[in-house]
Each structure stands twice: as C-alpha cells, then as structure tokens.
Amino acid sequence: MSDNFSYEQSILRIQDILSRLQNQELNFEESLALYGEAIKLIKNCEEFVRNAELKIEQISIDSTGEIQITNFQP
C-alpha cells in the first residue's frame, strides 16, 4: 500500500501513525503493524530524497564568467 504514496502522502501518513501510536489505546499487534508501516514509509521517503539529490544540478559562474553546471554533492 505505502509503495504508491508520494513523498507528501508518506509524510502525512507517518504523522497519522505517530498520532495514533501516541494518543490511542492500541493492542500490541496493532502497534507493531503501525510501527512496521511507518518504517516502510520512512525508507520510501529516504529513497525519494536520494533520488532527488541525484537529479539536482548545481549552477555556478566561474572566474571567466562562464556558467558551470555540476551534479549536486551533498
């Protein structure tokens, strides 16, 4: 289910899960299932960020006034 979420949807779902874990009386199995879902969503978000970093290019102007485009280096 979580594999089809966008980054924003994943963040919202993680927030919902955290709220449920903090504010509701859940049995152990329910808590464990929600925890597992949250971990998967967090990993998906990390992958979104890694993929975005690969696509970002840094634009700068060198000493001669030429525009230089380089890959993003975190």
Q: Is the pLDDT of residue 23 over 70?
A: yes
Domain boundaries, the chain: 2-71
CA 32, CA 26: separation in Å to the nearest integer? Answer: 9
- 10, 44 Cβ separation under 8 angstroms: yes
Res. 44 pLDDT band, cuts 50 70 90? very high
pTM of the model: 0.72
Banded pLDDT at 14 (limits 50, 70, 90): very high
DSSP-H helix ranges across 1-74: 7-23, 28-55
Query: Does residue 41 register a pLDDT over 90?
Result: yes
